Structure 1
Amino acid sequence: MGLSERIDNAVMQAVATGQGGVAPRQLAEALRYATTPGGARIRPTILTSVAMACGDDRPQITDAAAAALELIHCASLVHDDLPCFDDAETRRGKPSVHRAYGQPLAVLAGDSLIVLAFEVLARVAHLDAGRSARLVLTLAQRTGMPNGICAGQGWESEPQVDLRAYHRSKTGALFVAATQMGAIAAGQEPDDWEELGARIGEAFQVADDLRDALYDSDTLGKPAGQDDLHRRPNAVSELGVEGAIKRLTDILSGAIASIPSCPGEAALAQMVRMQAERLIPVITPVAK
């Protein structure tokens, strides 16, 4: 089984758990709608790749961690798209959840995915209670306040914003969760993996800022120009297009250099390089 199939299976099994029993039909459908198609599933890919680089001695725990992280990410997209935030009509090339199912079910779908993420982690506690508890704590810290994605959304309501702090919370938090949770799932200490996750997260945020500024909605699969529309802080407005591209390149170089020593270090470095190549060529030709 390939890495992509492994992750998709883990996510779909988790969603099936949330649809079990005598569940409300529309809300159950909304859970699957919010998590498919999966897109790149970059966060669980990083998590699983780190776990594999560290030995992946408990693959069931790794799969649970990957699924939980992706559920949190999908929940954040459902909530981001709501009228009270971005009011986005599309996501991943199809109507956003609130457009397809209405605002009440979109709120409930996002909430249900968040709760389901922690249920998935609790269900593997019998395999290793210590790892399960650390995974729950790490994911909670990177989801809520003061440094998680909730804090990232909260920064958008502040009159003055520290761009780096904003990016660390809004985007970087779940990438740090990815690298640290991958290490935890494999029984390793997570602290050494924080820098790699932070650098990857910052790179993806800068790349997203560039796409938002330079691409149209059809290319993105979601509304473009949202940063300017909502007057959000972003790398392009702060640094200009060329400055943002330079920052992106520098961050990605630093990310590869920050990979801790581990048995699968070379393979992990190659994965990071592949992700870097997906970011830079997409943007550089447009910016010239």
Structure 2
Amino acid sequence: MPLTDRIEGAVTRALGTTQGGSAPKQLAEALGYACLPGGARIRPTILLSVAMACGDDKPRMADAAAASLELIHCASLVHDDLPCFDDAEVRRGKPSVHRAYSQPLAVLTGDSLIILAFQTLARAAAVDGARAAQLSLTLSERTGMPNGICAGQGWESEPEIDLGAYHRSKTAALFIAATQMGAISAGHEPEAWYDLGALIGEAFQVADDLRDALLDEATLGKPVGQDDLHGRPNAVAELGVEGAFKHLSDILAGAIASIPSCPGEAALAKIVSMQAERIMPAVPARYQV
């Protein structure tokens, strides 16, 4: 089964547990609206790719891990778009959740998706309790404090920002979760997979900085110029456009070199390269040599 089918099926099954019965209709609709149709699904794709490279001996466990990670990511986007954070009106080419359903329902949507992520892993305990517990711990560490995506948002409220810690928590955290959870779901130890996730996350952050600086809203599907608007540290401001592109290429080369030895190492390297092409923004003509 193609990875996209596995991911969409896993996310849809998880969302299905929130529907029907006496559930409030608007909130139930908002959960699906926030997740479907999805974006690039890069994080769960990396997770399943690592699981397959490690043998993927329990696909149901890997599918649950992929769904839970994507649900956390979708929850973070709903919360990021709120007026108290980015005040974004558009996400993935359509009105953001708070614009489509109201701010209170957007808060509840994000909260419900976070809870659903961990419910999904709890249900997977029937497949392998030890792995489900380790997956839950890893996902919680990369979601909360002190090194998860909540910490990443928290750094934006500090008078001085530790740029390395900011990027590791804001962006890299869920990519580290992706590589480590992929290994865990296939029965491998997660520590060796930290560097790959961290480097992919760093690359994604630089690529996102470039897209924010160079693309328009219609192309990107969300507001642009947000780094300048909110005064956030970013690679383009620090290195310039050409320097940011070079830095991005160097990071991606390092990511491929960091892949641990595993049965599917060569195939995983190809997938990482493919994902790199997906996140690499086109170089504007004025910056091409």
Q: Over residues 34-57 of structure 1, what are the superposed CA-to-partner deviations in whole Å (9 max), with x where a residue is unaligned?
A: 001111100000000000000000
Contact kept? 1:211, 1:283, Cα under 8 Å? no
For 2:228 and 2:266, how far apart are their aligned partners in 1?
A: 40
Aligned pairs for 1:103-142 (under 5 A) are: 103-142=103-142
Aligned pairs for 1:231-246 (under 5 A) are: 231-246=231-246
Cα drift, residue 163 of structure 1 = 1.8
Contact kept? 2:211, 2:281, Cα under 8 Å? no
Q: Secondary structure at the match of 2:268?
A: helix
Q: Which residue number corresponds to residue 216 of structure 1?
A: 216
Compared with structure 1, are the counterparts of its residues 237 and 59 closer, same or farther at alpha carbon in structure 2 (3 Å cutoff)?
A: same
Q: Which residue number corresponds to residue 247 of structure 2?
A: 247
Cα drift, residue 233 of structure 1 = 1.0
Cα drift, residue 276 of structure 1 = 1.5
Aligned pairs for 1:1-288 (under 5 A) are: 1-280=1-280, 282-283=282-283, 285=285, 287-288=287-288
Q: 4+ residue stretches of structure 1 with deviation over 4 A?
A: none
Contact kept? 1:210, 1:283, Cα under 8 Å? no
Q: Which amino acid letter does the alignment assign opposite residue 41 of structure 2?
A: R
Q: Which amino acid letter does the alignment assign opposite residue 229 of structure 2?
A: L
Instruction: Point out where structure 1 has 5 or more consecutive residues left out of the alignment.
Output: none
Contact kept? 2:75, 2:109, Cα under 8 Å? yes
Identity across matched positions, percent = 75
Q: Report the TM-score, using the length of structure 2 for normalisation.
A: 0.98
Q: Aligned-pair RMSD on alpha carbons?
A: 1.1
Cα drift, residue 281 of structure 1 = 5.4
Contact kept? 1:193, 1:260, Cα under 8 Å? yes
For 2:117 and 2:279, how far apart are their aligned partners in 1?
A: 28
Cα drift, residue 269 of structure 1 = 0.2
Q: Which amino acid letter does the alignment assign opposite residue 15 of structure 2?
A: V
Q: Secondary structure at the match of 1:198?
A: helix
Q: Secondary structure at the match of 1:268?
A: helix
For 1:238 and 1:221, how far apart are their aligned partners in 2?
A: 25
Q: Which amino acid letter does the alignment assign opposite residue 258 of structure 1?
A: S
Q: Which amino acid letter does the alignment assign opposite residue 187 of structure 1?
A: G
Q: Secondary structure at the match of 2:49?
A: helix
Q: Which amino acid letter does the alignment assign opposite residue 68 of structure 2?
A: A
Q: Which amino acid letter does the alignment assign opposite residue 135 of structure 2?
A: L
Instruction: Point out where structure 2 has 5 or more consecutive residues left out of the alignment.
Output: none
For 1:176 and 1:25, how far apart are their aligned partners in 2?
A: 35
Aligned pairs, how many?
Answer: 288
Q: Over residues 41-88 of structure 1, what are the superposed CA-to-partner deviations in whole Å (9 max), with x where a residue is unaligned?
A: 000000000000000000000000000000000000000000000000
Compared with structure 1, are the counterparts of its residues 32 and 237 closer, same or farther at alpha carbon in structure 2 (3 Å cutoff)?
A: same
Q: Report the TM-score, using the length of structure 1 for normalisation.
A: 0.98
Q: Secondary structure at the match of 1:282?
A: coil
Cα drift, residue 20 of structure 1 = 4.2
Cα drift, residue 285 of structure 1 = 4.5
Q: Which amino acid letter does the alignment assign opposite residue 211 of structure 1?
A: R
